[in-house]
Amino acid sequence: MSLQKKLGNRRSRRGQILLMFAIALPVVLLFTGLAIDMGSAYITKTTLSKAVDAAALAAMRNYSQGQTQAQAIAQSAFNVNYQSAFGISTASPPVLNVAFTTDASNNKVVNVSATATINTFFLRTLAGYQTLTISTSAQATRPKLIMSLVLDRSGSMNRNGGATALPPAVNAFLTNFDDATDEVAMVSFSTRARVDVPIETNFTSPIDTAVNAMAFGGGTYSQSGMSSGQAQIDSVPVSVGEAVVKVAIFFTDGWANMIQDNLNCPPTTNLEFGGCAPPEAAVGWCSGIAFVNPTTGSSTSCGASQFPSQSAGGNVALTESNIATDAMYRTVLVAQAMQAEGIVIYSIGLGDKISQTFLQQVANDPASPTFNGNLPIGEAVFAPTASQLDAVFQTIAAQISLRLSQ
């Protein structure tokens, strides 16, 4: 083969390669553009989904503030989560839609959707692909809250500022919940327990009135207060498919120190009895043991020297310390029965005369020595002074709101 023919063949192959490159280049650019622009779309979609989820949760947690306020808070949560993302180029600000409704079981539902339009880089060379529209949505359901407030109105509340601090703390606490749908009761206890406001919707005004008018005095019959709170929660019928969250708030400023049992004091052997818990007796706040007829509520006398202790499993000396130990034990048993029904308990302790271990046991707090992971997990929180009581109640309100939005 001649040199001239060889050179001609080489020129022919070069021409073919250039032609193939010219044909392939647009395809390569197209797929490169798709990779870059679709990658940008994926990042936008992921960020948009995160922001929409945050908005849905924020809207549901703040539903009790009214739909307008809840929508504003949802928008703020969306903005924070969307704008924090790096590298997103939008042709216009994303549009957020928040809508509230109810499902077939009358559970509150919030539907949130958002649309973002992003600029393309390579695909914009193709007609109709200057921008891409990305959409996503989320839904959150807010179950009904069924709650009992179990509040200590014993005489020691007059000594630590609790009598003054408790009413406004409860008033502010209630504003976190839905007056039209949630059902809330108020139970108070001292030497005896009583239902101040039976469980109902439209609870805010009755409970505000009751707690503001509360008078403080007497012992601390915690077991009876918890049993009454349990009965209020249990009285609410729950329809099939209806989502509910059951909660009890147990507030006290001291040890439990009252119980009811059979004593050898005829003619009325079944008596409520109790005395001053050791921390309060130590500072001279109270002394002695009182006996109350559970039927009439009147004071009586009894010369018994022993009582049947549930914590000890037999008769023990009728002393203030033994009564307090058994009173706390019996209260914890009621709390565990409530938790076995699915009721979450939050306990609040005020001042320095409380037993933190007792309150942790009542709440099934993970810090409790008797913590049971198979039961609903609550939390025990403490307000060393009355001025901190409102903040503690708000801490619990935030925990409940979180449960309602999960």
Instruction: Give the chain's domain count.
Output: 2
Write out the two tokens for 387. Answer: 């001025």
Query: Cis (ω within 30 of 0) for the bond into 267?
Result: yes
| Per-residue buried b or exposed e for 172-209, using 16+ beta carbons within 10 Å of the residue's own CB | ebbebbbeebbbbbbbbbbbbbebbbebeeebbebbbe
Are residue 138 and residue 158 in the same domain, yes or no?
Answer: no
Are residue 323 and residue 338 in the same domain, yes or no?
Answer: yes
CA 221 to centroid of chain Cα atoms: 27
Q: Is 380 helix (H, G, I), strand (E, B) or coil?
A: strand
Other C-beta atoms within 10 Å of 140: how many? Answer: 22
Are residue 21 and residue 103 in the same domain, yes or no?
Answer: yes
Residue where one domain finishes, among candidates 107, 127, 142? 142
Are residue 100 and residue 135 in the same domain, yes or no?
Answer: yes
- Residue 133's pLDDT is what? 80
The per-residue pLDDT for range 124-154, each reduced to its tens digit, is: 555 556 677 888 888 877 889 999 999 999 9
| H or E stretch covering 323 | helix 320-340
User: Percent of the chain scored above 70 by pLDDT?
Assistant: 84
Are residue 396 and residue 254 in the same domain, yes or no?
Answer: yes
Q: Is 300 helix (H, G, I), strand (E, B) or coil?
A: strand
The per-residue pLDDT for range 193-232, each reduced to its tens digit, is: 999 999 999 999 999 999 999 999 999 999 999 999 999 9
- Residue 218's pLDDT is what? 93
Residue where one domain finishes, among candidates 115, 142, 169? 142
What's the mean per-residue pLDDT of the chain?
Answer: 87
For residues 159-185, average pLDDT: 95
Are residue 117 and residue 245 in the same domain, yes or no?
Answer: no
Are residue 175 and residue 113 in the same domain, yes or no?
Answer: no
* CB within 8 Å of 188: residues ≥ 6 apart: 150, 151, 152, 153, 194, 196, 214, 225
Nearest-angstrom CA–CA distance, 316 and 255:
19
Are residue 163 and residue 256 in the same domain, yes or no?
Answer: yes
Nearest-angstrom CA–CA distance, 105 and 96:
27
Write out the two tokens for 77. Answer: 């949560």
Q: What is the DSSP string of 250-290?
A: EEESS---EEEEE-S-TT--EEEEEE--HHHHTTTS--SEE
For residues 68-94, average pLDDT: 77
Residue 378 has pLDDT above 90, yes or no: yes
Are residue 83 and residue 131 in the same domain, yes or no?
Answer: yes
- Residue 82's pLDDT is what? 81
75: phi then psi, degrees, rounded to nearest 5: -60, -40
Are residue 134 and residue 160 in the same domain, yes or no?
Answer: no
Residue 26: give the domain boundaries: 3-142
Partners of residue 114 on adjacent β-strands? 96, 136
Are residue 137 and residue 286 in the same domain, yes or no?
Answer: no
CA angle 153, 156, 159 (to 5 degrees): 120
Write out the two tokens for 390. Answer: 């409102």
Are residue 23 and residue 8 in the same domain, yes or no?
Answer: yes
Residue where one domain finishes, among candidates 142, 172, 200? 142
User: Lowest-confidence range among 41-45, 86-90, 108-112?
Assistant: 86-90
- CATH number, residue 166: 3.40.50.410
